[in-house]
Amino acid sequence: MEVVSKEEFQRNEKLFVERIKEGAIFIYPTDTIYGIGCDATNDEAVQKLRTLKDRSKNPFSVIVPSRKWIYSHCDVSEEADQWVEKLPGPYTLILKTKKHAVSKYLAPGLDTLGVRIPAHWFSGAVERMGIPVVTTSANKTGKDFMTSLQDLDESLRKAADFIVYEGEKRGKPSQLVDLTAAPKLIER
């Protein structure tokens, strides 16, 4: 696994984006914790990530390029709009989808999608990519999430193509907010 700094990623962003669009699995920082993801429109990459995480059914969320992307691809009620306008921030908003703009393997059998825009420089990279990126904690399902390179699960270390590393993170996963009906915070 290649370890790159924020500066290296930004300096070579076009090359990293090309790798992502070709199916790379990568680890990246957010405003909360480290995530592991891939191009959310790439069926093969999403399936590979499911296998890697030992997560056969539970849906994955995505970092989206913009609020505009959310309004184009999701049903946003007046109440949900108030939450969308809080983005970027430490929230994952669960919304009903209007049309499929992501892999069918992202949320199998569901008509909902968890969307995020972290308050973090990496969101700008996703915006420039113009595609949603899978966002899930960098860990095996049911295990502790990664806070530093030292506690990254060995199988994830071996499988990830690269990591954008900015030191230890002491955050917690984003707050899930179900907006498919009346807004409801979901405990993790």
The 10 Å Cβ neighbour count of residue 89 is 16
Pick from 81-90, 97-106, 154-163: least confident: 97-106
Structure tokens at 163: 């990591």
pLDDT over 80 (residue 165): yes
The answer to whether the pTM exceeds 0.75 is yes
User: Count of domains in the chain?
Assistant: 1
The dihedral over CA atoms of 51, 57, 63, 64, expressed in degrees to the nearest 10, equals 120
* DSSP SS3 for 97: strand
For 31-64, the pLDDT digits (tens) are 888 999 999 999 999 999 999 998 878 899 999 9
Average pLDDT over residues 113-140: 94
Structure tokens at 20: 């992502």
For 132-158, the pLDDT digits (tens) are 999 999 988 888 888 888 989 999 999
pLDDT of residue 2: 93
Q: Which domain covers residue 18, as residue numbers?
A: 2-186
Task: Say how many residues make up the chain.
Answer: 188
Mean pLDDT, the chain, rounded, equals 91
Average pLDDT over residues 103-127: 93
CATH of the domain at 74: 3.90.870.10
pLDDT over 60 (residue 188): no
What's the rounded Cα separation, in Å, for the pair 117 and 93? 10
